Amino acid sequence: MALGPFYVAQKLSQGGAMRGIVLLMRHGETAWNREGRVMGQSPVELDAGGRAQVEAAVPFARTIKPEIIVTSPLLRARQSAEIIAQGLGGIEVVEDSGLEEVRYGRWQGMVYEDLLKDSDYERYREHPLTTPTPGGETIGQVQQRGVDAILRSIRNHLGKRLLFVSHGDIIRTVLCHFMGLELGHFRRIRIDNATFSAVQVVNDFAEVKFLNLLPDPERAFVSPFARRNEKS
């Protein structure tokens, strides 16, 4: 038998002021997702396909039994959180602005092909840890506010199973934190729309339970822009 589980069991059995189960869900798809368009802080709502994705996730949400939902206040995330909450019998939903999407500033509304011609994006793509977006954030600052929001909720609800509904890059950077990965690797973690990841946190230790769990696994092997390009 592998010895790793013994170490994990010891860590997870420790007492302390910081303990809880962190469930992470990305919002369902929007029309802008399908177009490959930067949403940022834009109040873009779920389309019919995105609502169907989130509704399809409800049965799994019932099996993991979150007790409270903490959501980004942006419309697409709030709508996703409300669908899950209703499917769970109306559990509490609270907002935390720390879970909002990256503040992309003037990139909002641009499509991928436009970004490739943008010198600011070229610098950000190569050096996201030190280069801020036109909205004023480095990816390190994004990670910090996301982690702060999650730890704040854990402290306020010790021992609870919390579902955080947020956005792709927030979830990627938060997972890097809990996995002990260098932040520069955040783009190596795939986070699809309406998927779940889970981490159990005890003090300064965290065990990742699962990543990017989705009911249709073949979706994870499709390039984010493949469907749009196939239609063009």
Query: What pTM value is reported for the model?
Result: 0.94
Instruction: Return the pLDDT at 228.
Output: 54
How many C-beta neighbours within 10 Å does residue 208 have? 13
Sketch out the chain's domains with CATH numbers: 16-110+140-231 (3.40.50.1240)
Catalytic residues: 27, 101
Contacts from 107-116 at CB under 8 Å and sequence distance 24+? 107/38, 107/40, 107/133, 107/134, 107/135, 108/38, 108/39, 108/40, 108/41, 108/42, 108/135, 109/37, 109/38, 109/42, 110/37, 110/38, 111/35, 111/36, 111/37, 111/38, 112/36, 112/225, 115/38
Rounded (5°) CA angle 21-150-17: 65
Query: What was the pLDDT predicted at 66?
Result: 98
Supply the pLDDT for residue 231.
Answer: 43
What is the model's pLDDT at position 2? 73
What is the reported pLDDT for 1? 60
Residues of the chain with pLDDT under 50: 230-232
SS3 117: coil
